[in-house]
Amino acid sequence: MTRLRTTRERRTSAGARPALGAFRRKVSLGIGHAARGAKGGTLVSELLALAIIGTALVVFMGGLSTSSAGVGLIEQRVSAENYARQQMELIKAADYQANPTAVPYPTVEVRCPAASPACTPGYTVQVDITYWHEDTQNFTSSPPASDVGLQQVRIQVFSQQRPGVAVFTLEGIKTEVE
């Protein structure tokens, strides 16, 4: 029985290229595998590369959407903080009111930028005043019998995008002598 020689053995022993039939036999035995020295890739390697690129693209797009949502939340918080600070400045600049429920402090106007007249304001500002009581040494929501000129001001800003949840809260003290 004669042993089949490889292409390399044939080249070295005969010094010439093997016959076409031997080449066909080698290719036909390697069905489904890339032949040695082939320039193209197999379907499996192409699909694997496509899957890796697709996964990377999905991760990248997920990062973009997360970043976009984060920027929106920060923008909302900064706007709410600006409204709260403006409200506190208005209250601090106003004259002291012994009973601000009867004569309220001025309130900030929540409005849209001039560049977008079609927008609707998405924020509401809520002001809560508590009064200092000398006898209990505590702030309460009811006005004292004799006002000592000390009030705690709590400002909460709410957004229509997150109803019922204060986006920003600011607290301060209002005195009769500022």
The DSSP result for 85-130, as a single string, is: HHHHHHHHHSPP-S-TTTSPPP-------TT-TT----EEEEEEEE
Q: Give a yes or no: residue 42 inside a domain.
A: no
Q: Give a yes or no: residue 121 inside a domain.
A: yes
pLDDT greater than 90 at residue 102: no
Are 123 and 84 in contact by the 8 Å Cβ rule? The answer is no
Q: Give a yes or no: residue 44 inside a domain.
A: no
Average pLDDT over residues 85-96: 93
Q: Give a yes or no: residue 94 inside a domain.
A: yes
Q: Which domain holds residue 100?
A: 60-175
- Cα angle, residue 157 at apex, residues 137 and 122 outer, rounded to 5°: 165
pLDDT greater than 90 at residue 146: no
What is the pTM assigned to this prediction? 0.61
Choose the weakest-confidence range: 23-32, 42-51, 58-67, 104-113: 23-32
Total structural domains within the chain: 1
Q: Give a yes or no: residue 11 inside a domain.
A: no
Q: Give a yes or no: residue 34 inside a domain.
A: no
pLDDT greater than 90 at residue 85: yes
Q: Please tell me the predicted confidence (pLDDT) of residue 177.
A: 77
Q: Please tell me the predicted confidence (pLDDT) of residue 39.
A: 66
Q: Please tell me the predicted confidence (pLDDT) of residue 4.
A: 66
pLDDT greater than 60 at residue 63: yes
Of 159 and 23, the one with more pLDDT: 159
